[in-house]
């Protein structure tokens, strides 16, 4: 391997998020090849992609002697490449959870690491194979490392798919000692809805994606493994086989890195194919054609890189061996915890190199990237481009995390520190001793956000204590030493004592990653998504996965809005004291009279019910689509009737009388913006989330393309007028979709105005709406009475006359059934208040109802005037007098004031000062007895009465 590969390139990322640019670290073998790398870098990389690239001579690191000579940290460091060489390092470096503000990292490797005895690392035992025996089954299933497994998640139908990378036992784990490390695959349905369109095609039924997210926890409990499964890798140009009966076969063609779908990196592809071949239990369905199948869209850099890589396919495949995904079940938790990937990772080799070749490296490997932007270009082909150091929004955080890194004292750090500042050595060593395999107990309270999140977790899942232990911290090695930083680190080390983490997060990336654009990187970094299993093992143990983290593109986040607690369930706290039921007749009546109470049937809307029912039913039976417009003033039962129709139809569908259909309801008033309607429809239709534009596209695709939907969709659009936009595109789409034969969409629209289509819609929109209209007339008094009677069927709480009265009153006012019910409800309360015996209140009489009606509908202006102060009343009089004088209905305050002063003088009142009168005027204006101009006009503000002059006179005369 070594011989074949003259050098290999790793891109190591802790890529500083700093300045929105990444810092790349390339490591290579052999000093002699430095020039070649330089050339490569100069030609392809530096200029375009790498703001910051560091090359490390690998061999130096690998020399056994270097380990001995160098302090412990360096030894461990050196072990990594050695393990890599030996081919035993599964994943030497892996990211650890970290917040975006503070990160720490760890690395730990499994396998023959010479210096492991030196350190108190608890190395797990490893296994080659596991066997499962399920209850009720006699056969044992043997699953070997390297096979693909199903892992139980929150969805029983679709368990997670992963590749078993390693099996080991971990004593440090509290709950399940048998652990497995896996490389995750992701199903299309697990891809965030808003990102699904990135695929650009329909996913195959059994298609899965290589999940290229190093931040995802790959350490799982063996118990979660359900069974084995077969995964077939397909070359990009291969057709997705659809006819395969075997549900247990998945196809992987692309990788998903939270940002985009990419063709499988060749090394991954090769590795998968190899596994496939090895897997004697399954026959290979369609052999991948060539490994070299690469999409032409790949950049030259990628090509170059790939070429480089292809020489080391073995090692590379190792690197891509697995990839951490956590089953969904855990996602929630993880969301709230810290990202396990520090954005900055550094190869141990890099730091080693800096030690070993100080002259060449110029001591650049340091923590001080952040602080010393001035050092941007270095001799010897090491480039730090200034953009990398430009402060992004996150600067503060990064600096913070940088300092934190230091505290967290990765061994690497320690080593570098020692190299540079021997005085630190002791601190460092002692720290190392304190490292425990379990990352628990580390709580960083340095960054506020860090504190927040664990609390949040606690609140949500109190049962998972480990989560909080996994405090975020990161260590990053910063290049470019500056004395300043060093001092700071030293201080922090001193300060930190034993409390920080030992782990250093490291990750090797294949050069392919180079093609990642910085902006993406930045975006990802600002919102890193933590994912972690609840009972996660110490990070040390998990670190064997590190090599798997190099996939062409990496994103530390899985959901598009990682900081959002996406999976938060919308729910109101439940009460622990159950609500009391009604205790007497009146309460019973009140309960039934509540608008929310669902009546057994909707009286008085039989005709409308039948019409709508027939309409929808016929569309269902014909398997076509159509639109219907329902209008009516508020409170006439439009929505209730449609709900009832749907309810009946759903029952009919269950009885197989009509074809099954899907029912969706949207309400224009419950949207923040008309285009949000697409989002809601899509979400209710498919459960996916998408942006408005994307949702519109998806819906259009769904409704307008052949044979896409299996069953009819019934869409109820309430408060249609709110969906009006300047271009009317929302309405147009809503009415246009049903016209497509394939859409099989029935749109029922509800609005208040009868002539809405004519009034606000363009011709092309109203034409599509069609002429299926229905108008709900306001309820007549007999209908209202019937409604009340039907609700009070078995409850004798009202006098007949009272019901008659309220029905007539409301019918005369508005015909709004809600009003009717509210009045009756209020009347029961009044009845209850006025009743002497609380146990057996009498019937609600007309008197009670009249009182309720009076309370609800009587204008309060007159009472307000009657109860206003004397000066306020006389001001009103002055207004009337001024109006009479001028013959106008409006006067300036000054004019009224003159009248007011005269009035007061006549009545022998003390002279009202201007300020007092102004205050009076403002008070009257505030309760809208007067309409006054804004007060900046001062005495010139115009005053108008908001009540009729007769009312004012009447109210004032009463006195």
Partner 1 sequence: MSPALASRFFTTSATWKTRTVNFITHDDKILRERFCHQSPHGNLFGVQVQYKHLIELLKRTAIHGESNSILIIGPRGSGKTMLINHALKELMEIEGVSENILQVHLNGLLQINDKIALKEITRQLNLENVVGDKVFGSFAENLSFLLEALKKGDRTSSCPVIFILDEFDLFAHHKNQTLLYNLLDISQSAQTPVVIIGLTCRLDILELLEKRVKSRFSHRQIHLMNSFSFPQYLKIFKEQLSLPSVFPEEIFAEKWNENVQSLSEDRSVKEVLQKHFNVSKNLRSLHMLLMLALNRVTPSHPFITAADLMEANQLCSMDSKGNIVHGLSVLEICLIIAMKHLNDIYEEEPFNFQMVYNEFQKFVQRKAHSVYNFEKPVVMKAFEHLQQLELIRPMERTSVNAQREYQLMKLLLDNTQIMNALQKYPNCPTDVRQWATSSLSWL
Q: Which residues from 634-693 bind partner 1, rule CB under 8 A?
A: 634-635, 669-673, 676, 679-680
722 binds partner 1 (CB under 8 A): yes
Structure-block tokens of residue 785 = 């009475």
Q: Kindly state whether residue 138 participates in binding partner 1, applying the rule CB under 8 A.
A: no
Give 60: exposed, middle or buried? Use CB within 10 Å, 0-12, 13-18, 19+: buried
**531 lines the binding site for partner 1 (CB under 8 A):** no
The residue count for binding partner 1 (CB under 8 A) is 93
Q: What six digits make up the tokens of 578? A: 């159950």
Torsion sign over Cα 108, 109, 114, 120: positive
Least CB distance from residue 595 to partner 1, whole Å?
Answer: 4
Of 185, 335, 177, the residue nearest 272 (C-alpha): 185
At 709, phi and psi to the nearest 5? -110, 140
Q: Which of 310, 772, 894, 949 binds partner 1 (CB under 8 A)?
A: 894
* One of 152, 154, 719, 890 touching partner 1 (CB under 8 A): 719
Stretch that binds partner 1, among 78-86, 132-140, 144-152, 896-904 (CB under 8 A): 896-904
Q: Is residue 587 a contact point for partner 1 (CB under 8 A)?
A: yes
901 binds partner 1 (CB under 8 A): yes
How many other CB atoms sit within 10 Å of the CB of residue 125?
A: 10
**Site for partner 1, residues 330 to 369, rule: CB under 8 A:** 336
Contact flag: residue 297 with partner 1 (CB under 8 A): no
- CB count in 10 Å sphere of residue 949: 14
Nearer to partner 1, 297 or 576 (CB): 576
Residue 916 binds partner 1 (CB under 8 A): yes
Stretch that binds partner 1, among 233-241, 372-380, 584-592, 600-608 (CB under 8 A): 584-592
Q: Which of residues 181-240 bind partner 1 (CB under 8 A)?
A: none
Give dist(CA 802, CA 827) in Å, integer: 10
Q: Which residue has the tokens 């204590």?
A: 465
Quick one: which of 138, 139, 297, 569 contacts partner 1 (CB under 8 A)? 569
**In angstroms, what is the minimal distance from the CB of 76 to partner 1?**
37
Q: Report in angstroms how near the CB of residue 383 gets to partner 1 at its nearest.
A: 38
- Of 605-634, which residues contact partner 1 (CB under 8 A)? 633-634
Distance, CA of 425 to CA of 414 (rounded, Å): 7
Please give the radius of gyration of the chain, using alpha carbons only, rounded to the nearest integer. 37
Pairing of strands 745-751, 178-187: unpaired
Does the CA dihedral 412-62-114-183 come out positive or negative?
A: positive
Check binding of 903 to partner 1 (CB under 8 A): no
Residue 242 near partner 1 by CB under 8 A: no
Look at residues 504, 566, 555, 505 and name the one whose alpha carbon lies nearest to residue 527: 555
Distance separating alpha carbons of residues 369 and 704, to the nearest angstrom: 54
- Which lies closer to partner 1 via its Cβ, residue 595 or residue 697? 595
CB of 298 to partner 1, least distance (A): 35
Interface positions, 534-563, toward partner 1 (CB under 8 A): 561, 563
How many residues can be counted in the chain? 959
Closest CA to 341 of 502, 563, 560, 525: 525
Encoded tokens for 570: 């919308």
- Name the minimum Å distance from CB 878 to partner 1: 13
Q: For partner 1, which is the closer residue by CB, 215 or 336?
A: 336
Cα separation, 309 vs 307, whole angstroms: 5
Among 939, 944, 951, 956, binds partner 1 (CB under 8 A): 939
Q: Rounded to an integer, what is the distance from CA 196 to the centroid of its chain?
A: 14
Which of 920-939 are b and which e, b meaning 16 or more Cβ less than 10 Å from the residue's Cβ? bbebbbeeebbebbeeeeee
Of 727-766, binders to partner 1 (CB under 8 A) are: 752
Question: Which lies closer to partner 1 via its Cβ, residue 378 or residue 591?
Answer: 591
Q: Which stretch binds partner 1 (CB under 8 A): 71-79, 310-318, 604-612, 938-946?
A: 938-946
In terms of Cα–Cα distance, which of 820, 822, 796 is closest to 808?
820
- 579 part of the interface to partner 1, by CB under 8 A: yes
19 in the Ramachandran plot: left (φ > 0), alpha (ψ -120 to 50) or beta? left
> Beta strands 219-221 and 225-233: pairing type?
unpaired
Q: Is 923 in the site for partner 1 (CB under 8 A)?
A: yes
- 584 near partner 1, judged by CB under 8 A: no
Shortest Å distance, C-beta 591 to partner 1:
7
Site for partner 1 in 788-847 (CB under 8 A): 814, 816, 818-819, 822-823, 825-826, 829, 833
Interface stretch with partner 1, choices 8-16, 412-420, 617-625, 852-860 (CB under 8 A): 852-860
User: Considering only 518-526, 768-776, 837-845, 893-901, which stretch makes contact with partner 1 by CB under 8 A?
Assistant: 893-901
Q: Pick from 132, 189, 293, 591: which binds partner 1 (CB under 8 A)?
A: 591
- Alpha carbon 220 to chain centroid, angstroms: 24
The distance of Cα 782 from the centroid of its chain, to the nearest Å, equals 52
Contact call for residue 855 and partner 1 (CB under 8 A)? yes
Q: Quick one: which segment of 364-372, 707-715, 778-786, 864-872 binds partner 1 (CB under 8 A)?
A: 864-872
Q: How far apart are CA 9 and CA 354, in angstroms?
A: 17
Give the 3-state secondary structure of residue 707. coil
DSSP reduced 3-state for 130: strand
Q: Which of 127, 298, 456, 954 binds partner 1 (CB under 8 A)?
A: 456
279 binds partner 1 (CB under 8 A): no
Alpha helices per DSSP H over 461-530: 465-469, 483-496, 518-526
| 597 touching partner 1, by CB under 8 A | yes
Residue 602's CB is within 10 A of a number of other CB atoms, namely 19
Q: Per CB under 8 A, does 888 bind partner 1?
A: no
User: Cα 652 vs. chain centroid, distance in angstroms?
Assistant: 37
Residue 938 lies near partner 1 (rule: CB under 8 A): yes
Among 22, 260, 590, 791, binds partner 1 (CB under 8 A): 590
Q: What is residue 58's three-state secondary structure?
A: helix
Q: Does 462 bind partner 1 (CB under 8 A)?
A: no
- Provide the minimum distance between the beta carbon of 241 and partner 1 in the complex, in angstroms, as a whole number: 38
Q: Is 577 in the site for partner 1 (CB under 8 A)?
A: yes
CB atoms within 10 A of CB 673: 12
Span from 378-386, 506-514, 786-794, 904-912 in contact with partner 1 (CB under 8 A):
904-912
Q: Do residues 900 and 874 lie in contact, with contact meaning Cβ atoms separated by under 8 Å? A: yes
Q: Which of 927, 233, 255 is nearest to 549 (CA)?
A: 255
End-to-end distance of the chain based on CA atoms, in angstroms? 107
Nearer to partner 1, 658 or 821 (CB): 821
Q: Among residues 861, 879, 921, 932, which is the contact residue for partner 1, using CB under 8 A? A: 861
State which residue, 767 or 869, has the beta carbon closest to partner 1: 869
Selection from 25, 29, 26 nearest residue 6 by Cα:
29
> In the bound complex, what is the minimum distance in angstroms from residue 105's beta carbon to partner 1?
24
Smaller CB distance to partner 1: residue 262 or 791?
791
Part of the chain binding partner 1 (CB under 8 A), chosen from 414-422, 475-483, 605-613, 891-899: 891-899
Out of 595, 648, 704, 850, point to the residue binding partner 1 (CB under 8 A).
Answer: 595
Which of 47, 377, 564, 935 lies at the binding interface for partner 1 (CB under 8 A)? 564
* Angle (nearest 5°) at CA 569 between 568 and 572: 120
For the CB of residue 503, give the shortest distance to partner 1 in the complex, in Å: 26
CB of 928 to partner 1, least distance (A): 5
Shortest distance, CB of residue 464 to partner 1, whole angstroms? 15
């Amino acid at each position: 391997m070594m011989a074949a590969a003259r050098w290999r390139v790793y891109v190591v990322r802790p890529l500083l998020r700093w300045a929105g640019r990444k810092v790349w670290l390339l490591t290579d073998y052999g000093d002699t090849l430095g020039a070649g790398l330089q050339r490569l870098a100069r030609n392809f990389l530096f200029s375009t992609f790498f703001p910051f690239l560091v090359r490390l001579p690998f061999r130096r690191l690998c020399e056994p002697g270097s380990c001995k000579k160098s302090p412990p940290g360096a030894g461990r460091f050196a072990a990594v490449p050695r393990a890599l060489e030996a081919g035993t390092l599964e994943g030497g470096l892996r990211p650890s959870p970290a917040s975006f503000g503070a990160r720490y990292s760890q690395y730990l490797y499994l396998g023959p690491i010479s210096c492991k005895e030196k350190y108190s690392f608890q190395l797990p035992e490893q296994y080659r194979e596991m066997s499962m025996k399920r209850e009720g089954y006699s056969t044992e299933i043997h699953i070997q490392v390297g096979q693909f497994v199903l892992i139980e998640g929150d969805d029983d139908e679709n368990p997670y798919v992963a590749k078993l990378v390693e099996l080991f036992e971990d004593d440090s784990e509290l709950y399940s000692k048998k652990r497995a490390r896996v490389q995750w695959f992701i199903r299309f349905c697990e891809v965030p809805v808003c990102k699904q369109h990135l695929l650009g095609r329909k996913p195959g039924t059994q298609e899965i994606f290589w999940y290229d997210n190093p931040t995802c926890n790959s350490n799982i409990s063996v118990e979660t493994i359900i069974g084995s499964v077969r995964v077939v890798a397909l070359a990009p140009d291969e057709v997705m086989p659809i006819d395969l009966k075997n549900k247990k076969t998945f196809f992987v063609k692309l990788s998903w890195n939270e940002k985009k779908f990419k063709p499988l990196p060749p090394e991954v592809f090769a590795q998968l194919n190899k596994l496939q071949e090895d897997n004697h239990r399954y026959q290979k369905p369609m052999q991948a054609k060539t490994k070299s199948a690469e999409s032409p869209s790949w950049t030259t850099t990628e090509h170059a890189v790939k070429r480089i890589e292809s020489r080391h396919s073995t090692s590379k495949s190792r690197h891509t061996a697995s990839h951490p995904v956590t089953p969904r079940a855990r996602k929630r938790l993880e969301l709230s915890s810290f990202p396990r990937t520090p954005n900055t990772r550094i190869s141990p080799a890099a730091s080693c190199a800096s030690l070993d070749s100080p002259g060449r490296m110029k001591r650049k490997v340091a923590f001080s990237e952040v602080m010393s932007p001035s050092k941007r270009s270095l001799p010897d082909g090491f480039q730090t481009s200034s953009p990398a150091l430009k402060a992004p929004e996150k600067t503060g955080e990064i600096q913070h995390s940088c300092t934190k890194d230091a505290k967290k004292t990765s061994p690497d750090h320690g080593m570098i520190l020692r190299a540079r500042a021997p005085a630190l050595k002791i601190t460092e060593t002692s720290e190392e001793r304190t490292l425990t395999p379990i990352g628990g107990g580390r709580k960083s309270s340095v960054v506020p956000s860090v504190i927040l999140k664990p609390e949040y977790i606690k609140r949500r899942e109190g049962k998972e204590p480990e989560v909080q232990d996994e405090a975020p911290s990161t260590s990053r090695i910063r290049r470019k030493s500056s004395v300043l930083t060093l001092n700071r680190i030293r201080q922090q080390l001193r300060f930190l004592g034993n409390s920080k983490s030992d782990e250093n997060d490291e990750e090797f990336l294949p050069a392919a990653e180079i093609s990642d654009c910085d902006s993406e990187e930045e975006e990802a970094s600002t919102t890193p998504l933590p994912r972690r299993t609840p009972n996660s093992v110490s990070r040390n143990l998990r670190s064997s996965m590190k090599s798997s983290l190099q996939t062409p593109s990496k994103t530390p986040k899985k959901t598009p809005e990682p900081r959002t607690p996406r999976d938060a369930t919308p729910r109101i706290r439940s009460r622990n004291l159950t609500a009391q039921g009604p205790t007497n007749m009146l309460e019973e009546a009140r309960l039934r009279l509540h608008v929310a109470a669902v009546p057994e049937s909707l009286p008085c809307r039989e005709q409308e019910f039948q019409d709508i029912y027939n309409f929808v039913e016929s569309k269902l039976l014909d398997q076509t689509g159509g639109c219907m417009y329902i209008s009516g003033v508020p409170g006439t039962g439009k929505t209730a009737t449609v709900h009832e129709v749907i309810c009946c139809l759903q029952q009919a569908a269950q009885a197989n009388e009509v074809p099954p259909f899907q029912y969706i309801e949207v309400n224009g008033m419950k949207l923040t913006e008309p285009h949000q309607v697409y989002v809601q429809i899509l979400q209710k239709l498919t459960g996916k989330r998408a942006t408005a534009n994307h949702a519109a596209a998806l819906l259009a695709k769904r409704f307008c393309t052949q044979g896409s939907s299996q069953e009819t969709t019934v869409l109820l659009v309430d408060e249609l007028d709110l969906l009006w936009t300047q271009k009317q595109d929302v309405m147009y789409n809503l009415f246009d979709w049903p016209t497509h034969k394939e859409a099989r969409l029935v749109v029922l629209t509800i609005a208040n105005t009868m002539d809405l289509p004519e009034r606000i819609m363009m011709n092309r929109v109203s034409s599509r709406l069609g002429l299926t209209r229905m108008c709900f007339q306001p309820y007549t008094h007999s209908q209202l009475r019937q409604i009340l009677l039907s609700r009070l069927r078995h409850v004798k709480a009202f006098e007949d006359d009272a019901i008659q009265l309220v029905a007539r009153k409301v019918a005369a006012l508005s015909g709004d059934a809600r009003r009717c019910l509210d009045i009756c409800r209020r009347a029961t309360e009044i009845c209850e208040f006025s009743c002497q015996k609380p146990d057996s209140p009498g019937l609600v009489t007309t008197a009670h109802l009249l009182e309720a009606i009076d309370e609800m509908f009587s204008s309060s202006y007159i009472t307000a005037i009657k109860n206003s102060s004397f000066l306020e009343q006389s001001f009103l009089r002055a207004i009337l007098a001024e109006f009479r004088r001028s013959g106008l209905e409006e006067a300036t305050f000054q004019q009224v004031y003159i009248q007011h002063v005269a009035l007061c003088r006549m009545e022998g009142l003390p002279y009202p000062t201007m300020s007092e009168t102004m205050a009076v005027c403002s008070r009257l204006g505030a309760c809208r007895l007067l309409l006054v101009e804004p007060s900046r006009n001062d005495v010139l503000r115009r005053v108008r009465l908001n009540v009729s002059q007769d009312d004012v006179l009447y109210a004032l005369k009463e006195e």
